[in-house]
Amino acid sequence: MSDAWWTWVGIAVAVVFVGVGAWLLLASRRDARAAASRPARDSFRREEEAPAPPKKRLAVVLNPTKLDGDGAAEKATIAGVCADQGWAEPLFLPTSEHDVGFGQTRQALAEKVDVVCAFGGDGTVRAVAQEMIGTRVPVGLFAGGTGNLLARNLELPTDDLARAVTVALTGRNRHIDAGWLTLDPDESHLDEHVGEGSSTGPDRHAFLVMAGLGLDAAIMEDTSEKLKAKIGWTAYVPAGLKNLLAERFKARVSIDGAPPITVRARTVLVGNCGKLTGGINLMPDAEPDDGTLDVVVIAPRGLAAWVSVAARVLAKSGRSTQTLDRYRCREIEVHVDRDQMVELDGDIIGEARHIQIEVQPRALIVRTENGRSSTAA
């Protein structure tokens, strides 16, 4: 073979060796970069050993007078359900004579708990809810009183504490309206300690179920707490009979800023929910999340007229008459000619001649079993 042929063979071999060497060099550099970017084995070990996120926590604002003895059994039930659901030990905050739940609720919120529950009667629920309005923290309801009106209107369990706790931990959120009642300080006489501990003061109060002026408040005032504890809601019957034919009062009622109308009444009721103690549905069209308030003015003159009113209520009639007038509104103002007892969700707050009430739509989150979509405007 000629020398030229061997020259070309040598050149080809050299090119091959150069190409292979370049490929090996590039591959080694890629491996080095990959090794540099890959976390060390120890770093994987540190991630695996990172602490778990903190457990969720429940706070319970409870009224000691509604517990069985020292409440050990109820607390154990609540703690047991929390443990079963993987939640932390609950925080228990008892109410007192001078603070029925307002300050305790603010303390719970300061602890950044995930749910705040009210364990007591309607008064405890109202105090807790008032401080929770406008927050994004849900409220849970543990029935401990006679009425438990909000729980009943929302169809929550009232006779099974473990189930109620489960709903508070795992249920769905429902945004409901809140009513706000404002008193004229020059025309009201408050009971002792009313509003004590509240962040809104003694002249502005929230309610979730119903506010009333006149007969219904007088019945609440005259009903014995001991009797309620013994026989339940039927304890209201003697007080009702006592006040049934009390003298009517004159009231000027203004609906949504319209010119006032003058009526003779025994009671003026403003409701966010419609069901009362004993399952009576006084306001069949009321929904707790519709952005409106339902108003009933009851004004029978004698016993026969009372029978007519009772028949219409039991029949769930939405029609207005001279003895039972109905309205719907976002705000209402009532002036009466003489002092009348005022109640909020069954709690007497004192006497007044002038009240203003307005609705705050979708202001409170409550844990419920079904969540239910809001129809608020």
Question: Is the domain defined by 180-361 classed in CATH 3.20.20.80?
Answer: no
The predicted-structure confidence for 48-98, as pLDDT tens digits, reads as follows: 567 788 999 999 999 999 998 899 999 999 999 999 999 999 999 999 999
Nearest in space to 90 (alpha carbons), one of 53, 59, 129, 116: 59
**Residue 316: CB partners within 8 Å, gap ≥ 6?**
281, 284
3-class DSSP assignment, residue 224: coil
Residue 344: what pLDDT? 95
Residue 89: what pLDDT? 98
**Structure pTM?**
0.82
The CA distance from 304 to 346, in Å, is 27
The predicted-structure confidence for 190-242, as pLDDT tens digits, reads as follows: 988 888 999 999 999 999 999 999 988 888 887 766 666 665 667 667 767 66
What string of DSSP letters covers 4-61? HHHHHHHHHHHHHHHHHHHHHHHHHHHHHHHHHHSPPHHHHHHHHTSPPPPPP-EEEE
Lowest mean pLDDT among 36-45, 165-174, 249-258: 36-45
Residue 374: what pLDDT? 42
The predicted-structure confidence for 123-139, as pLDDT tens digits, reads as follows: 999 999 999 999 999 99
Residue 321: what pLDDT? 74
For the chain, the domains span 1-32, 58-177, 180-361
**Is 70 exceeded by the pLDDT of residue 295?**
yes
CATH code for residues 58-177: 3.40.50.10330
Comparison of pLDDT for 166 and 16, the residue scoring more: 166
Instruction: Identify the bridge partners of residue 366 per DSSP, sorted by sequence position.
Output: 139, 174
* Contact assessment for residue 196 and residue 103, using Cβ atoms and an 8 Å cutoff: no
